[in-house]
A and B are shown apart, each in its own frame.
Chain A
């Protein structure tokens, strides 16, 4: 049994996985352990990717990078199992959507992609003034490790604004020139009020149609776990109560 100690990120896993794959280690013989600092594996400079049996379909790299952001058990052994099977069993494995490993990978990939999408949707900036500069600061609680994956979207969109996105899984900062990342923050670091919010709440209340309540439909797309970080969601109980009164 091999005890693989890696950091919880794609590069660290890849470095280790290459080594195991080259020496033909079987997936069931490896125990994957994530630690703060990977100690066992130093990245080897060498043309490993060029060796035929280490070449994998581009699709695998895409899927693996997404799954690396999954915050939960089982992702590293799953990825190595798929990698091993791609190399020694069937290069078309990823096309067999009914395969149990592929299915599990797709489910994780989808969870990450959904989390990134919700990240883009549910970040709410509040403005703070530092000297003469406006900084847009958000507190968001992603389900997966998606800060680095989700932030470039905000850079493309809000490139002329200074912003920081604070989360319990890491933070990102943009100063109109450079994107940087920092360790997790806590909710009390984020601002608690913003001038435009009152208008936003007025809008939310007015655009709601109390004559067609569909609470289940709302919750499917608007998971309750995100409500605490969304100012407008605080109105929901009140709006539902008023709708019943009508």
Chain B
């Protein structure tokens, strides 16, 4: 099969992995080769689905012995199969990188023969890139659940990031949809990777050598809406993964039935993109705004996030007794909880208020969303809206006007780029 055809099949099969992050790693260029990482990820292009292209995202092969219902490459799926030779991937990566199309490679694979064999094949590509080409760009390898610890520790030597996808938040879902997978096995894989990272850091402290093992950490992905599990279940799981395995990111992927989908779940409705978006926002609150998952999900009627309101606003409306907050005096952690105010605005408020009292107009200048924030804050000047904080129907103020959705804009909020691409 010619390269171009393989590229079509194996890029097409790779696009269901949402991660495209290339940040968080620092690697100087090897003087014999090309490529480095400088911490900040770069999105080199964007496709009309709003996703960024930062990495060459490929499967080594889409042949798979497993049969996960939601997956295009599952054993019983009727798709064309292909397999790259390692040197073909190496050449594509180098050709693309030298032309500045990409930051590096994200290589995953269907399961061939066994978890260990598959992991070995992925490692082989990364090894060739690092040791033959002296490639210093970003490499993200799939950590195959169930692969031996030795292989995972070898993979982390070459890769900037490793990811084992958990796919479902509870074992019952896996039993139904991914019978070959167990949470225990996937979490064991995450634990092995975490061991590699911690061990390398300890060594680096005692030897003074730079830690290079999976410098950009590990991530995972959860398919949303292929099972009955609620947002509450999903976010509880995500928080546990962040805590137990120090994951950098959990990605959420809205289930969408397609021709390849297993008949078992083909009749399930398409998950609303807004649900995926709200999960990313809630995830953001947990990682950067000091929220705990139960705060974000408490009191939700069906356990799912409100699609109409962002989760911080929804939380604030449920917790009006904690407001209003005095912009000029409140702690950083409380400022972060005000709807419509982001991390950067909070930093600017804290710097500025050492020297000047902050007024309502100042907030507008700092790009705070006053539509949301004004009900919850006390400023140095008169803020009339804060006196209406306790009114019964405050929630209605934020309801979206019911308009005819246009062809282009239906349920396509402008997400923070970072949520789309996995950048911080």
Contacts and interface: CB of A to CB of B under 8 A. Distances in A.
B49 A208 contact: yes
B414 to A, nearest CB: 6
Contacts of B86: none
Most buried by A among B35, B45, B256, B349: B45
Contacts of B356: 96, 98-99
25 contacts: A90-B355, A96-B352, A98-B356, A98-B365, A98-B366, A125-B98, A125-B100, A127-B98, A161-B34, A197-B99, A200-B96, A202-B4, A202-B8, A204-B53, A207-B11, A209-B47, A209-B49, A212-B49, A212-B273, A213-B412, A215-B48, A216-B414, A218-B47, A233-B45, A240-B48
Contacts of A206: 7-9, 11-12, 15
A120 B42 CA distance: 8
Interface in A47-89: none
A221 interface: yes
Contacts of B351: 95, 97
A12 B155 CA distance: 52
B48 A200 contact: no
Interface string B34-61: 1110100011111111111100110000
B272 to A, nearest CB: 11
Nearest to A195: B95
A159 B3 contact: no
A198 B4 contact: yes
B99 to A, nearest CB: 5
A222 interface: yes
Contacts of A232: 45
Interface in B352-403: 352, 354-356, 358, 362, 365-366
Contacts of B48: 208, 213-215, 218, 236, 239-240, 243
Q: Which of B32, B52, B98, B273 has the most CB of A within 10 A?
A: B98
A209 to B, nearest CB: 5
Nearest to A125: B99
Given A98-B365, A160-B34, A211-B256, A196 B408 contact: no
A233 B8 CA distance: 18
Given A98-B358, A214-B48, A214-B49, A160 B32 contact: yes
Contacts of B408: 213, 215-216
Contacts of B254: 212
A176 to B, nearest CB: 11
B4 A199 contact: yes
B51 to A, nearest CB: 7
Given A160-B34, A206-B12, A207-B12, 13 more contacts: A97-B349, A99-B356, A103-B365, A125-B98, A157-B34, A199-B3, A203-B11, A203-B96, A208-B47, A213-B408, A214-B49, A215-B48, A243-B48
Contacts of B98: 125, 127, 136, 158, 161
Contacts of A203: 7, 11, 56, 96
Which of B48, B354, B355, B408 is the most central at the interface, judged by chain A CB atoms within 10 Å of its CB?
B48
Nearest to B57: A207
Contacts of B38: 153, 156
A3 interface: no
A20 interface: no
A230 interface: yes
A123 B99 CA distance: 8
Interface string B1-23: 00110011101101100000000
Interface of B: 3-4, 7-9, 11-12, 14-15, 29, 31-36, 38, 42-53, 56-57, 92, 95-96, 98-101, 254, 256, 258, 273, 348-349, 351-352, 354-356, 358, 362, 365-366, 408-409, 412, 414-415, 417, 420
A127 B101 CA distance: 13
Interface residues of A, number: 61
Contact of B47 (A120, A138, A207): A207
A130 interface: no
**Interface-central residue, B56, B101, B408, B412, by most chain A CB under 10 Å:** B101
Contacts of A212: 49-50, 254, 256, 273
Nearest to B13: A206
Of A138, A157, A211, A236, chain B has the most CB atoms within 10 Å of the CB of: A157
Interface string A122-135: 11111100000000
B34 A209 contact: no
A232 B101 CA distance: 10
A138 B45 contact: no
Contacts of A218: 46-50
A157 B29 contact: yes
Contacts of A153: 38
Contact of B99 (A196, A221, A243): A196
Contact of A220 (B7, B45, B352, B417): B417
A117 interface: yes
Contacts of A127: 98-99
A99 B405 CA distance: 40
Given A160-B33, A203-B7, A98 B352 contact: yes
A152 to B, nearest CB: 11
A139 to B, nearest CB: 12
A209 B13 CA distance: 10
A127 B96 CA distance: 12
Contacts of A204: 45, 47, 53
Nearest to A220: B414
A95 B96 contact: no
A220 B46 CA distance: 10
Interface string A229-246: 010110010011001000
A230 B45 contact: yes
A112 to B, nearest CB: 16
Contact of A207 (B3, B15, B358, B417): B15
A209 B256 CA distance: 11
A217 B273 CA distance: 13
Given A160-B33, A217-B50, A97 B352 contact: yes
